[in-house]
Amino acid sequence: MQHCIAIFLVIETDRSQAVAKRVRALVEGPILTWARETAGYSIQDVANKFKKDPELILAWESGEEMPFMGQLRIMADMFKRPISDFYLPAPPAERPLPHDFRRPRGAIAGDYSPALRKQLRFACERQDITKDLLDDMGDQLVHFPHQARMRQSPERVGQSIRDILSVAATEQITWKDPRETLNGWRQRIEAQNILVFQFDGVDVEEAWGFSIVEPVFPVIGINKKLAPNGRTFTMLHEFTHLLMGRSGICDIDDYTQRAQADMEVEVFCNHAAAAALMPEAEFRANKTVCSCSGPAVDWSDQEIKDIASSFGVSREAAVRRLLTFNLTTVDFYRERRAEYHAQLSAQKAREREQNKEKDFIGQSGPQRAISDFGSNYVRTILNSLGEQRITLADAAQYLQVRAPAVRKVQELAL
């Protein structure tokens, strides 16, 4: 009998899928255009997905023809939108994308990949969820009060960041490894009512991080493909963007030729982030650094590692700080920078090959939810669930875990 039921269900499923392929989706052309463009795809991209002529996609978007339901579901998955979005009465107003500080001079503005656009949209959605749920619970939404200006010294802004976040040198040296350093700085930033998200699926060549300036719960996004010390530096770079009130997408590269105004902002944010991580007095007092009195080009790799580990930063950041205080040369910094980037690329290639040869075991769903979404977002979801303002299904959807795993998220969060 059970076999008969199973066969019947398979037949019914196949039949419903076949019907979906034949039923037209009554969607408006402008909605299809909006969904495609905001996801970062061209007409040709969609045509390639369906192995059809671009003229068919144009006919869908012009309203001359309508896709079948099966085709609509494929587009919904491709554009990472729920089916319900395609039945909106009109394309909704979209938030402006953060400014592109990565853009080389002469490149097209806002040339973001679909993967990056998806992460930006998801970050904005989680920001809205956080504010809506807190408002529903009657919590006061606290405005981010801090500011910085480019007319200020980046060294002083770096010290202001340490003061705002209450990070003392005596505490920083207790963070024994790069991951502990990352978590220590992240906790202090999140305590300022900032949402700090980690994202994946975006190449570091495209973006190291982004910032979304808002009066309440501004957002910092960090690329998980970076090493922990790279994520820490990026997080403080983006925190400086929030202080300046300038949303942005960044790659922390301040050598590529860009628009002068963009270059000035990126150099300033890099300098302030470095000053926050490695204050001048503590840096000069470092036992390895204080042995040098002028521009040196014979820093050993071990010496650079020792300096970097003292502050929980990358070797590149440590060498750049030496350059800031005229303790090495521009040529030495550029040589080391190229060397470190080549080493990182080789390491990533090895990791990709190793992961192909064995089953890769990453974080569990609950662990990933806390790591990716951060304490402010996760706590808001769990508190709303505890007050029965959202259902278990809602909480699971917001945390991107299965419903039974929500309890594990609660245990880890506590």
The one-letter amino acid code at 142 reads V
- Average pLDDT (377-399) is 96
Q: Model confidence over 8-21: pLDDT tens digits?
A: 444 444 554 555 55
Q: How far is it, in rounded angstroms, from Cα 354 to Cα 295?
A: 41
Q: Would you list the DSSP string of 268-293?
A: HHHHHHHHHHS-HHHHHHSTTGGG--
Mean pLDDT score across all residues of the chain: 89
Q: So what's the pLDDT on residue 114?
A: 95
Confidence of residue 50 (pLDDT cuts 50, 70, 90): very high
- Average pLDDT (117-131) is 96
Q: Would you list the DSSP string of 11-23?
A: HHHHHHHHHHHHS
Q: Is the pLDDT of residue 103 over 80?
A: no
Q: So what's the pLDDT on residue 276?
A: 97
Q: So what's the pLDDT on residue 17?
A: 52
Lowest mean pLDDT among 97-111, 146-160, 290-304, 312-326: 97-111
Q: Model confidence over 27-43: pLDDT tens digits?
A: 999 999 999 999 999 99
CA 396 to centroid of chain Cα atoms: 21
Quote the radius of gyration of the chain (alpha carbons, Å). Answer: 25
Q: So what's the pLDDT on residue 72?
A: 96
Q: Model confidence over 152-193: pLDDT tens digits?
A: 999 999 999 999 999 999 999 899 899 999 999 999 999 999
β-bridge pairing 195-199 and 99-100: unpaired
Predicted structure pTM score: 0.88
Rounded to the nearest 10°, the torsion over CA 81, 82, 88, 91 is -10
Identify any residues that bridge with 210 across adjacent strands, giving them in sequence order. 221, 249
Q: Is the pLDDT of residue 358 over 80?
A: no
- Average pLDDT (265-283) is 95
Q: Is the pLDDT of residue 360 over 50?
A: no
Q: Is the pLDDT of residue 339 over 50?
A: yes
- Average pLDDT (84-92) is 94
Q: Would you list the DSSP string of 144-206?
A: ------TTS-HHHHHHHHHHHHT--HHHHTT--SHHHHHHHHHHHHHTTT-EEEEE-SS-TTT
Greatest CA separation for the chain: 86
Rounded to the nearest 10°, the torsion over CA 102, 108, 109, 110 is -90
Q: How far is it, in rounded angstroms, from Cα 300 to Cα 148?
A: 36
